[in-house]
């Protein structure tokens, strides 16, 4: 069972997405802000991180930078999630070291495809 860290501050989004991922047999760990996301990633060592960008305490960009510069977490794949569908946001996600990018509202089959692709690549 793959372990996913979902870093999402919106309770409805967090609840909906975590329930749907759990039904697909993923183990889901939750964090509600960027700082908690960094701490949970360091302690739980998930297989993949779904990182919202608009977060309190540390925003998603700051949390991604910390994770990608930490030898303990730098190889954990991150998929950035954002309501901003601008090409610049997508490019920034890749520039910051994310393995993929997806927009909200989440299209679950598309997101699952991205999660599976990232997991397959990280297992090689």
| Predicted pLDDT of residue 122 | 87
Q: For residue 86, is pLDDT > 80?
A: no
Supply the pTM of this predicted model: 0.96
Question: What does the alpha-carbon distance between residue 25 and residue 18 come to, in Å, rounded to a whole number?
Answer: 11
Q: For residue 84, is pLDDT > 80?
A: no
Question: What does the alpha-carbon distance between residue 118 and residue 97 come to, in Å, rounded to a whole number?
Answer: 13
Domains of the chain: 3-123 (3.40.50.2300)
Largest CA distance in the chain: 35
CA nearest to 50, candidates 39, 62, 64: 64
| Predicted pLDDT of residue 43 | 98
Question: What does the alpha-carbon distance between residue 76 and residue 68 come to, in Å, rounded to a whole number?
Answer: 8
Q: Quick check: bond before 105 cis, omega within 30?
A: yes
| Helix-, strand-, coil-residue percentages of the chain, each rounded to 5 | 45, 20, 35
| Predicted pLDDT of residue 124 | 80
């Amino acid at each position: 069972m793959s372990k996913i860290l979902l870093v999402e501050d919106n309770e409805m989004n967090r609840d909906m997405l975590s329930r749907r991922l759990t039904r697909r047999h993923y183990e889901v760990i939750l964090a509600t802000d960027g700082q908690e996301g960094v701490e949970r990633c360091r302690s739980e060592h998930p297989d993949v991180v779904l990182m919202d960008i608009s977060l309190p305490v540390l925003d998603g960009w700051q949390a991604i930078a910390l994770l990608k510069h930490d030898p303990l977490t730098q190889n954990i794949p991150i998929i950035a999630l954002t309501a901003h569908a601008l090409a610049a946001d997508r490019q920034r996600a890749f520039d910051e070291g994310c393995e993929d990018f997806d927009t909200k509202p989440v299209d679950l089959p598309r997101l699952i495809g991205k999660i599976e692709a990232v997991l397959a690549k990280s297992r090689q």
